[in-house]
Structure 1
Amino acid sequence: MKLPAAILTVFASIAVTIDASVYFKEQFLDGDAWKTRWTESKHKSDYGQWKLSAGKFYGDAEADKGLQTSQDARFYALSARFEPFSNEGKPLVVQFTVKHEQKIDCGGGYVKVFPADLDQSDMHGESQYYIMFGPDICGYSTKKVHVIINYKGKNHLIKKDIKCKDDELTHLYTLILNPDQTYEVKINNEKVESGSLEEDWDMLPPKKIKDPEAKKPSDWDDRAKIDDPNDTKPEDFDQPETIPDPDAKKPDDWDEDMDGEWEPPMITNPEYKGEWKPKQIDNPDYKGAWVHPEIDNPEYTQDAAMYKFDNIGVLGLDLWQVKSGTIFDNFLITDDVKEAEEFGNETWGATKGPEKKMKDEQEDIERKLREEEEKSKNKDTEDDDDEEEEDGEEDEEAEGEHDDETDEDAGTDEDSDAKLKDEL
């Protein structure tokens, strides 16, 4: 019996849904219960402390709560365990959100995926991991997305430069490793980089190497230009670079017994033409650049399982921050690319707009407060100037009144003296 194509499509869709798995999901929606699921490393005694917070601005006060670094200039080491699995034959998707609301100057915003045998209480910077993924910022020079893959016990950095987001808003980071040895990096659900594991990492030796037996022939001429053999140097070309100043004269008070023999100062020779070089012409024997022939690298062996990790079981935050305040949220590890995209839209996608609006409103309020403070300062300065002017005017008036009183008193005394003379 042959089933209709539409029914087969439905069955296929159901099969994909059933096969798809979410291995780890963390949104911190149950308050402090996260402390029972996450383990702090005791490898060092002074690791930075985490707190649950939505930050200073957010899209949803509850949904946007995540783990926030709370102490400056600290290492942080925290991890969560889940049921171990292998990604053999299926995609591996690692996704989370990061918000650097503190205007981060230097610090990590990445996660590490560990094997299930990790001792979480002793997790530290040298603990072997499978994958390190996420943004890293330090100064103006480092603003990149790390994609580091451990292959046969050695960590390999991606050879491409992937720029991360460096503003204060929440951003969604997604890494997809496919069983066909390809990968994709997404930021905010948009692809920013992709390629193959073999080409973009140096996990395998190169397929081709230069033939160690091959050597450039002794008569191989790879000079595109040569000196013109017919070009000769003009007879008057050789002139010294400097000559005695012909206009210089020995000072009248020059004493050869005391000062030695007088010599005129040297000046640049206007006839100097520099070093002579013959003209260049095309080399008639030029054979082009010699290319070293390559051979198959005997040390190269194709590995169709570079993408595969057999015992994935822990997600960790192992990083350093100079200025604290970064918030991690919406962690997801799955083998379903579509599930990750939809989860990103339901979380980050739903709150990114309100978050930006709240941030803009806060900045607008802060700007207005600064303007009011500036106006108030200016007004206080003007008032102080006015008071000084008024005090100056009052002092002048007081001095004027004092002069008038003095004149009146002087007049009274003169009148008394005149009257006294008349009486006499």
Structure 2
Amino acid sequence: MAAVQRRLQISNPNFLSLIIALSLLLVISSAKVIFEERFDDGWESRWVKSDWKKDENMAGEWNYTSGKWNGDASDKGNYIILWVMCTFNKDKALVFQFSVKHEQKLDCGGGYMKLLSGEVDQKKFGGDTPYSIMFGPDICGYSTKKVHAILTRDETNHLIKKDVPCETDQLSHVYTFILRPDATYSILIDNEEKQSGSVYSDWDILPPKQIKDPEAKKPEDWDDKEYIPDPEDKKPEGYDDIPKEIPDTDAKKPEDWDDEEDGEWTAPTIPNPEYKGPWKAKPFLLPENKESQLQGQVDSTIDRQPRHVNLSLAFDYFKDDPDLYVFPKLKYVGIELWQVKSGTLFDNVLVCDDPEYAKKLAEETWGKQKDAEKAAFDEAEKKREEEESKDKPVDSDDEL
């Protein structure tokens, strides 16, 4: 009998709270792989299912299954897990990766995972439990189809300011979040970079480096116009001689046209595509406005005091944090989400400090199975359509 690939699958909707308890895993500071879960033998000892929402009869259920269509019938996944980690990403990259498949053609619900710090009661882990990083796809209706990348500092959750669309089909996809020691990041889907930038600019974790100068005033000779006609742009020779309309060369004299009665026939005119309207010089950006974004702004550092104080405003100063990328004392990996329809599968969870290893793992798992999974999905869809056509009532006219 062929081996069966299994994955963690939501078999019942509503609130689902699982925490990954990374068993008593010895974490060495120089290790590249901190946690890797492929849901093979022994996975039950590494995961703890939370009782969150159980008393309210709103807790969902999880299955250990290969799903309806798969590329490897031996690959499985299951439960919410908690795991003991350490501050491993100091001076190193933090890579958080997993695969997820919405087999049920998700209408509204999450497919994200979380990294948590501090002490957590695994059996009570849920939506109110503080977390350090939340990452992964979220879908709801037509308006929400995005990848969450939420970073928590000082008990405040900061959402990424850039839009990162997620995949919405019924196949497996790999989501990767990379956070580097220079505070840059990358978000990948299926090993392709979809978004990148800096934590400084793409999250509002720190106050901005520049603020509006409360004493800034517009110079008396300031020109509000950002653009003026370019004085170097000259009207082409013969521009004014171009007619607005030209005879329609495709027009033909009507057969019943009588020159004696109707007069001499002339072809109707059509708009001349060469005519561009009255000539205007190209717009030219005023030199003094090239740096207009900096006008009226000052550095927002802690050592610069404002020249006057407005007591009605809370004045936040920028102070650099060289450890902005560090998330100390990470201990747990958790899956906490809400869904209207069940059927989402999670697999191949990875936390490491090596983006190349994450890429290799994605290629060895998702990369080798995606074509077979797609073929299995297409076959399942074909059978579904055939069954639906059999059950469809036959119109009486079609029988004749």
Same fold (TM over 0.5): yes
1:183-198 to structure 2, matched below 5 A, reads 183-198=185-200
**Shift in Å, 1:380:** 11
Work out the CA distance in 2 between the residues paired with 1:21 and 1:219: 60
Q: Which residue is 1:29 aligned to?
A: 40
Structure 2 unmatched ranges of 5 or more? 1-28, 227-285, 302-316
The amino acid that maps onto 1:207 is: K
**Shift in Å, 1:306:** 0.7
Pick closer, same or farther for the CA change 1:287–1:368 going to 2, 3 Å. closer
Deviations 1:111-138 (CA, angstroms, capped at 9, x unpaired): 0000142221221212211100000000
Q: Which residue is 1:111 aligned to?
A: 113
Q: Which residue is 1:8 aligned to?
A: none
More divergent stretch after superposition (343-352 vs 121-130): 121-130
Work out the CA distance in 1 between the residues paired with 2:148 and 2:138: 7
- Partners of 1:220 and 1:287 within 8 A in 2: no
Deviations 1:247-284 (CA, angstroms, capped at 9, x unpaired): xxxxxxxxxxxxxxxxxxxxxxxxxxxxxxxxxxxxxx
The amino acid that maps onto 1:62 is: S
| Pair 1:368-2:386 in alignment | yes
Q: Which residue is 2:355 aligned to?
A: 337
- Partners of 2:109 and 2:138 within 8 A in 1: yes
Q: Which residue is 1:355 aligned to?
A: 373
Question: SS of the residue aligned with 1:162?
Answer: coil
Deviations 1:352-387 (CA, angstroms, capped at 9, x unpaired): 11000011112122333334455x8358973xx8xx
- Partners of 1:23 and 1:82 within 8 A in 2: no
**Shift in Å, 1:61:** 0.9
Work out the CA distance in 2 between the residues paired with 1:156 and 1:207: 17
- Partners of 1:135 and 1:146 within 8 A in 2: yes
**Shift in Å, 1:53:** 1.1
Work out the CA distance in 2 between the residues paired with 1:103 and 1:221: 56
**Shift in Å, 1:62:** 1.1
The amino acid that maps onto 1:357 is: A
Work out the CA distance in 2 between the residues paired with 1:105 and 1:217: 55
Q: Which of 32, 41, 62 is the aligned partner of 1:50?
A: 62
Deviations 1:5-34 (CA, angstroms, capped at 9, x unpaired): xxxxxxxxxxxxx9442111111122xx43
- Partners of 1:151 and 1:306 within 8 A in 2: no
Deviations 1:157-182 (CA, angstroms, capped at 9, x unpaired): 11100000000000000001101111
Pick closer, same or farther for the CA change 1:184–1:222 going to 2, 3 Å. closer
Deviations 1:31-73 (CA, angstroms, capped at 9, x unpaired): xx4333211223422321111111110011112x2238xxxxx
Question: SS of the residue aligned with 1:97?
Answer: strand
Pick closer, same or farther for the CA change 1:81–1:221 going to 2, 3 Å. closer
Deviations 1:301-357 (CA, angstroms, capped at 9, x unpaired): 111111101201100001110111100110010111111111111111111110000
Q: Which residue is 1:202 aligned to?
A: 204
**Shift in Å, 1:215:** 2.7
| Pair 1:309-2:327 in alignment | yes
Q: Following superposition, which runs of at least 4 residues in structure 1 exceed 6 angstroms of deviation?
A: 218-221, 286-291
The amino acid that maps onto 1:201 is: W
**Shift in Å, 1:218:** 7.2
- Partners of 1:24 and 1:82 within 8 A in 2: no
Work out the CA distance in 2 between the residues paired with 1:364 and 1:223: 61
Q: Which residue is 2:78 aligned to?
A: 67
Write 1 or 2 for the structure with the bigger share of helix: 1
Structure 1 unmatched ranges of 5 or more? 1-17, 69-77, 225-285, 386-424
- Partners of 1:20 and 1:336 within 8 A in 2: no
The amino acid that maps onto 2:153 is: Y
Identity, % of aligned pairs?
47
- Partners of 1:26 and 1:329 within 8 A in 2: yes
Pick closer, same or farther for the CA change 1:23–1:223 going to 2, 3 Å. closer
Work out the CA distance in 1 between the residues paired with 2:173 and 2:287: 55
Number of residue pairs matched by the alignment: 294
Q: Which residue is 1:268 aligned to?
A: none
- Partners of 1:222 and 1:287 within 8 A in 2: no
Work out the CA distance in 2 between the residues paired with 1:177 and 1:381: 62
Pick closer, same or farther for the CA change 1:222–1:176 going to 2, 3 Å. closer
Work out the CA distance in 1 between the residues paired with 2:30 and 2:222: 62
Pick closer, same or farther for the CA change 1:196–1:368 going to 2, 3 Å. same
Question: SS of the residue aligned with 2:78?
Answer: strand
TM-score for the superposition, normalised by structure 1: 0.64
Pick closer, same or farther for the CA change 1:287–1:23 going to 2, 3 Å. closer
Work out the CA distance in 2 between the residues paired with 1:368 and 1:221: 70
Question: SS of the residue aligned with 1:80?
Answer: coil
TM-score for the superposition, normalised by structure 2: 0.68
Work out the CA distance in 1 between the residues paired with 2:93 and 2:163: 23
- Partners of 2:85 and 2:329 within 8 A in 1: no
Question: SS of the residue aligned with 2:358?
Answer: helix
Q: Which of 89, 96, 105 is the aligned partner of 2:98?
A: 96
Question: SS of the residue aligned with 2:208?
Answer: coil
| Pair 1:293-2:296 in alignment | yes
